[in-house]
Amino acid sequence: MTLFNEIYGAYFRIAERVLARKTVSDKEIHEIIAREGFRDSVLFVPQKLLPQSDGSDWGLLKRNPDGSLSRVMKHPPVKILTLLHKRWLKAKLADPRMTLFLPDEEFAALSAALADVQPLYQPAWFRYADRFNDGDPYTDPAYRSIFRTVLNALTTHRALDIDYITSRNKRIHRLFVPLRLEYSGKNDKFRLYCCSMSRSGQPKGALINLGRITAVKTAPVPKNGVLTVDEIFEARKCSQPVTVRVTQERNGTERFLMEFASYEKHTDFDQATGTLTVQLWYDQTDETELLIQLLSFGPVLEILSPPAFRARAAARVAKQYELLHKLQ
């Protein structure tokens, strides 16, 4: 049982999609390759799928008198749930978040169906060292009910009438159109990207912690246009990237690049000085989180710009310097 196996690969998938049809045209084959394959697959796969006079093809299709192609098999390929799939699903059954998706009866039925399967791993083997300890209450029936209502609205494209308490303890009650559920491993929380209508009727992006929702019910989608999740990302994106310089001291460059791998960024390495200059793009609402993360690198990293962002760092450092001097 291996992860890196051709049976899960792009070429097998292309063949499976082609063979799912009783007859298929050359054009359709090219379309399937373009959809399921890599950028250059169209250069390699057609000659293996289409019958060749020298027999160098895969022998899966035969040419009909009318020019179309038929599979040499009698049936469309069966898509088997492999042992790897089952072992992975069995491992997920031990994750408390799985109960958010499966009602009790369905959970029990799936557990029974996978009773003889050994899990791929046990969650206890994985230790999330720096995960925050106030994650969402996945086993709380009220939370589960809210999660399912939100998920249901998201999958059936309905709106939500949401009552929630903000981080500043303010109660909000409004109609929202759900767009995506976001999970943060660091916070161990779900948040809902959604669109609400401002008083002027203009659509506005919002991000709501599921743990802060006190009541929710589905509602029809309002007739006003809604934003897409990409439009919300764009609206929240910083106007200017943060530019930082990182030195090699304490393995700084490597540590930095790994830690900020999840950001959209542009890196430049100066071999003469051994320093790295990086531009990072970020969500404006995460600015403080980013600042904290950058400062934790200490003197190995310097925030160069924008000036306002650098000033925020400077202010914190100045406060810290004063605290140390008070002590001495």
Residues 244-273 close enough to bind other proteins by CB under 8 A: 248, 251, 253-255, 257-259, 261-269, 271
Nearer to other proteins, 47 or 223 (CB): 47
Q: Is 159 in the site for other proteins (CB under 8 A)?
A: no
Cα 43 to Cα 10, 155, 279: the distances in Å are 14, 37, 37
Length of the chain as a residue count: 328
- Residue closest to 153 by CA, chosen among 94, 219, 244, 73: 219
Question: Near other proteins by CB under 8 A, which window of 195-203, 211-219, 220-228, 275-283?
Answer: 275-283
Distance CA 215, CA 149 (A): 10
- Residue closest to 236 by CA, chosen among 282, 279, 293: 282
Nearer to other proteins, 140 or 259 (CB): 259
Q: Which of 32, 91, 177, 216 binds other proteins (CB under 8 A)?
A: 91
Q: Is 240 in the site for other proteins (CB under 8 A)?
A: no
Q: Is 170 in the site for other proteins (CB under 8 A)?
A: no
Listed in sequence order, the residues at least 6 apart from 79 whose beta carbon sits closer than 8 Å to its beta carbon are 16
Shortest distance in whole angstroms from residue 284 CB to other proteins: 13
Distance CA 183, CA 126 (A): 18
Number of residues that bind other proteins (CB under 8 A): 132
Q: Let me know the angle formed at the C-alpha of 32 by 28 and 35, rounded to the nearest 5 degrees.
A: 135
- Residue closest to 227 by CA, chosen among 204, 250, 259, 256: 204
Q: Is 31 in the site for other proteins (CB under 8 A)?
A: no
Which one-letter DSSP state was computed for residue 273?
T
Shortest distance in whole angstroms from residue 309 CB to other proteins: 10
Distance CA 36, CA 41 (A): 9
Nearer to other proteins, 54 or 223 (CB): 54
Nearer to other proteins, 4 or 201 (CB): 4
Shortest distance in whole angstroms from residue 82 CB to other proteins: 5
**Residue whose token pair is 């650098």:** 310
Q: Is 115 in the site for other proteins (CB under 8 A)?
A: no
Nearer to other proteins, 118 or 224 (CB): 118
Which helix or strand (DSSP H or E) is residue 243 part of? strand 242-246
Q: Which of 102, 172, 175, 221 binds other proteins (CB under 8 A)?
A: 102
Q: Is 2 in the site for other proteins (CB under 8 A)?
A: yes
Shortest distance in whole angstroms from residue 224 CB to other proteins: 22
Query: What pairing do the DSSP bridges indicate for beta strands 213-219 and 159-165?
Result: antiparallel
Question: Near other proteins by CB under 8 A, which window of 137-145, 179-187, 195-203, 215-223?
Answer: 179-187
Strand partners, 237: 283
Q: Is 50 in the site for other proteins (CB under 8 A)?
A: no
194-223 residues in contact with other proteins (CB under 8 A) are none
Nearer to other proteins, 103 or 225 (CB): 103
Shortest distance in whole angstroms from residue 261 CB to other proteins: 5
Q: Is 64 in the site for other proteins (CB under 8 A)?
A: no
Q: Which of 64, 228, 240, 296 binds other proteins (CB under 8 A)?
A: 296
Distance CA 179, CA 158 (A): 10
Q: Is 166 in the site for other proteins (CB under 8 A)?
A: no
Distance CA 313, CA 248 (A): 21
